[in-house]
Amino acid sequence: MKDPRRERSDVLERLAQATVLLEQSLDVRLIPAKGANLAYAIRGARDKNGVAAVQGGIINENGKPHAAGPCAFGGDEDTARLVLTAMKFDPLMRSAATLRFSKNTLIVIESLLLECTSFDRTQEPPGISTMDWGVASCCKEGVPDVCYDYGGTGKEAIIRILGENPIDVTNNIIMISNRIINIEL
């Protein structure tokens, strides 16, 4: 078994590497209004303190993707909940990213043969987090590569990319970014 401090250090290192790749390759049109984010959990994480994310997210700064802050544990509660919910269905699925939704982006994602599922925010039960309920509803038959929603009143539509580690997630985002270059979003 790995030393817990070493595992946390490894998680931060891999997340930071993936963040640099996104800063170099992410099409800024995929960044949601509140910023994109990328997260990675330690094995067996049970709360947001076991999930590292980019503090402040990845933002559009002068037409280029830029990490607003460092990678840190407990750095983004929503993305942490997303990862923790996916891990309940498959403990190996420890990483996720959030992207801006568009129907054309979804077409590109489906052309890459990534498994996609969605949920409807209007069906969300009161008092339950979107990440808990929505992501869980997408994972009933296993954790998909992509989980998305169309938004709702005061809620931006979001695409969530899931994977075992941040490099896998980032590679899928880079493939998406490369294919949307000439597409109107």
Confidence of residue 177 (pLDDT cuts 50, 70, 90): very high
* Local structure of 110: helix, strand or coil: helix
Q: Is 31 domain-assigned?
A: yes
Residue 85: C-alpha distances to residues 14, 66, 73, 93 (Å)? 21, 27, 17, 10
Q: Residues 24-44: pLDDT tens digits?
A: 999 999 999 999 999 999 999
Residue 20: C-alpha distances to residues 11, 45, 49, 65, 163 (Å)? 14, 24, 22, 10, 18
Q: Is 86 domain-assigned?
A: yes
pLDDT value of position 185: 60
Q: Which CATH number do you get for residue 85? A: 3.40.225.10
Share of the chain above pLDDT 90, in %: 75
Phi, psi of 35 (to 5 degrees): 95, 155
Q: Residues 10-19: pLDDT tens digits?
A: 999 999 999 9
Q: Is 168 domain-assigned?
A: yes
- Count how many domains the chain has: 1
pLDDT value of position 28: 95
Residue 102 contacts residue 96 (beta carbons within 8 Å): no
What does pTM read for this prediction?
0.92
Residues in the chain: 185
- Residue span of the structural domain in which 144 resides: 4-179
Confidence of residue 1 (pLDDT cuts 50, 70, 90): low
- Which amino acid, one-letter code, is at 173? I
pLDDT value of position 52: 97
Residue found under tokens 């709702």: 152
Q: What's the whole-number average pLDDT of the chain?
A: 92
Confidence of residue 2 (pLDDT cuts 50, 70, 90): low
Beta strands in 9-151 (DSSP E): 37-41, 51-54, 58-61, 64-67, 71-73, 95-100, 116-119, 146-149
Q: Residues 80-136: pLDDT tens digits?
A: 999 999 999 999 999 999 999 999 999 999 999 999 999 888 787 887 877 788 888
Pairing of strands 37-41, 95-100: antiparallel
Q: Find the helix or strand (DSSP H, E) in which 138 lies.
A: helix 130-138
